[in-house]
Amino acid sequence: MKKDGYNIAIVGATGAVGQEMMEILEERNFPVREIKLLASERSAGKELEYKGNKIKVEKLGENSFENIDIALFSAGSSRSREFAPIAAQSGAVVIDNSSAFRMEEGVPLVIPEINPHALAGYKNKGIVANPNCTTAVTVMALKPLHDLGKIKRVIASSYQAVSGAGAQAIEELRNQTLAWANSEEIRSEVFPHQIAFNLLPQIDSFLDNGYTKEEMKLHYETRKILEDNEMALTATTVRVPVFRAHSVAVNIETEKKISVNEAREALNNFPGVRVVDEPGELKYPMPIDAAGTDDCIVGRIREDYTIPNGLSFWVVGDQLRKGAALNAVQIAELLIGDYI
């Protein structure tokens, strides 16, 4: 670890995830020597606050990464494809939050609590991939159960907050809610249909197999993170009118039977996971409880009575934190602790 800290760049600093990255770096007292905020030409010149100081946002360009140690990318896959290799060639380690490199051979896809050993692979291309937000929340609950009984099959249905679609999506839900309350016209620009008081069973574009890209991300990324290409996973991803924190209903089939008590104990003992499961007291995980927190919260744990070795449960996690910015900063902490 460098005694005087590290030079950090945040690409997409004005977006919801970029701003969350800044907050988490400050919260966790990450050893930042200098921080550079990068965004598109449209956002260049804006000022954002970090540790009480106003920092001007700079336009992202080919020369943006000189003397940068770690570059945190949160600007979308096209920007990552273009600029992440440039940042890596400049000597920075890239932690990319987009889908651009997650399934690329030689690029580690890392959740620090689950597969920190994979991080050694960053040396291949200088890039580490952050998982999809729904994948991160789901796999945090799958990992301790997979270790306990080896999961054969997963059926997942997600209930994803608008925060997953960025700052403009958050604003659209707010504006539509206000318009509804005031009996005004409801306009949809970010989403293809009204999101306020509605559910959209589509996240990302549809593929030839009838699934969306988001659903297939959950399939492929889960298998890569858990290092198990035999695991079968099918998903339905749904956008819901919640501002922040994703929820996932999960059903698993395991090789070895896992009792409810064994599942609760394994989940509660896993770092980054907390069990809230007292249905008799009406206590179970809700997005409103997970928003702004680091842990993924699991509840509604019960045996699936239709198969011999099955469990169903409900997991909730903050999309902007464990689903994105927090996981990226945790990767950076591992990097400076063990690698750079």
Residue-wise pLDDT tens digits, 29-43: 999 999 999 999 999
Using the Cα atoms of residue 327, residue 100, residue 236 and residue 202 in order, give the sign of their dihedral.
Answer: positive
Nearest of 265, 157, 143 to residue 214 by alpha carbon: 157
Residue ranges of E strands in 228-272 = 232-239, 246-254
Look up residue 315 and give its amino acid.
V
Q: Which of 133, 146, 219, 296 is catalytic?
A: 133
Residue-wise pLDDT tens digits, 40-53: 999 999 999 999 99
Of residues 109 and 166, more confidently modeled: 109
Confidence of residue 219 (pLDDT cuts 50, 70, 90): very high
Token readout for 307 is 């198969």
Q: What is the CATH number of domain 6-131+324-338?
A: 3.40.50.720
Over range 327-340, report the average pLDDT.
Answer: 95
Buried-exposed string 34-72: b where 16+ CB fall within 10 A, e elsewhere: ebbbbbeeebbeeebebeeeebebbebeeebbeebbbbb
Examine the pLDDT at 257 and tell me if it is beyond 80: yes
Pairing assessment for the beta strands 32-39 and 70-73 based on DSSP bridges:
unpaired
Beta partners for 153? 232, 253
Instruction: Give the H/E segment covering residue 173.
Output: helix 167-181
Annotation marks residue 296 as catalytic: no
Examine the pLDDT at 306 and tell me if it is beyond 90: yes
Token readout for 192 is 């293809």
Over range 243-258, report the average pLDDT.
Answer: 98
Q: How far apart are CA 43 and CA 58, in angstroms?
A: 8
pLDDT at 95: 98
Q: What is the CATH number of domain 134-319?
A: 3.30.360.10
Q: Using a CB cutoff of 8 Å and minimum separation of 24, what contacts does 40-43 make?
A: 40/75, 43/13, 43/14
Beta partners for 234? 155
Residue with tokens 């293809």: 192
Question: Domain segments of the chain: what residues?
Answer: 6-131+324-338, 134-319
Token readout for 68 is 């940068």
Over range 301-325, report the average pLDDT.
Answer: 97
Nearest of 158, 307, 142, 296 to residue 226 by alpha carbon: 142
Residues 6+ apart with CB under 8 A from 86: 62, 65
Domains 6-131+324-338 and 134-319 belong to one CATH topology: no
> Helix %, strand %, coil % for the chain, to 5?
35, 25, 40
Confidence of residue 75 (pLDDT cuts 50, 70, 90): confident
The pTM score is 0.95
Examine the pLDDT at 119 and tell me if it is beyond 90: yes
Q: How far apart are CA 1 and CA 265, in angstroms?
A: 35
Q: Which of 146, 219, 246, 296 is catalytic?
A: 246
Q: What is the mean pLDDT of the chain?
A: 97
Nearest of 119, 143, 117, 120 to residue 130 by alpha carbon: 119
How many CB atoms are closer than 10 A to CB 114?
23
CA end-to-end span of the chain, whole Å? 7
Annotation marks residue 133 as catalytic: yes
